[in-house]
Structure 1
Amino acid sequence: MEITEDRTFPAALAALTGIDFPWSDDPAEGSIDYEPYQEFESAQETTDWIQAWTGNKELTGDAFRTFGQDGTGGLAALWLVREGPLTAQPVVFFGSEGEVGPVATSLGEFLWLLAGGVGPQEAVEFGSDSGVPHAELRAVAEEHSGIEPRTPAEVLAAARAEFPDFAETVQSWCR
């Protein structure tokens, strides 16, 4: 497969940049620890990040498009592993303390995860039960996902089923 050089920020991600993501220390109030970017990080920034995260200076960031972070610096990224546009690529999370995992099989699925009140960090660390649905994010998912509504549990189950070895793959890159 040829990795695309496309760094055009999808409309679905651009729609997230104007939303105030809820944050609370009380999970019952609903909290999404996610800060959307306004564009993808540059190829050099992405390479610097993956090399620092893995300790592997042989890697490049070509297989990733980072598009958001949590409050600790963990990154959400598109992982370019299949044919098709950026919106068809899975969304993965790399935490600041070594947490890693797939969170959605596509950008459309990711939008439904957010609509259910679950961010990428919460998905990897706590699973699908941590969210409180968010009306503004649901409106973005309805407009930009291109798929029928999904629950966070459905989104995470599909991602984990399709990419069960993602954490082991990332571990194999680490030095």
Structure 2
Amino acid sequence: MLKNLDPLLNADILHALRAMGHGDELVICDANFPGDSVARATVLGKVLRLDGVDSARAVRAVLSVMPLDTFVEHPALRMEVVGEPNTIPAVQREVQAEIDAAEGRSVPLASIERFAFYERARKAYCVIATGEQRGYGCFVFSKGVLLAPDAPRDPARNDA
């Protein structure tokens, strides 16, 4: 065990999160998503597992150590419900709450069509497969940066 570290973050996941750079993307997917086959095309080349954990809990663990990208318009994406792109299932509402809590501000999930999601996932740094049994528990997150206190800030974000 490590201090102040979510116990769900196993060594493989911590290694991947640390190795990712600014703008790299991470997929957290549900148990129905073809995580293993999609993960083979990612930078890491293998699926990382959090079996028995739902999507919201996995997102809480990951975002406890990984900042979201503030240089892109949509650093968090959700898979759209097929034929109902504006429907927000409970699993996605739960994940939205975890994102906002981790970031300390509202960071709305943008939507992405199912097959476009698969293509985006194949280009990600890695895929973390959860035990989420509800459909549409699939998300993409873009890694941000942690700047030193005296580092220049992004003037467009007004965070100086």
TM class, shorter-chain normalised?
Answer: under 0.3
Q: Which has the higher contact order (CA 8 A, sep 6+)?
A: 2
Higher helix share: 1
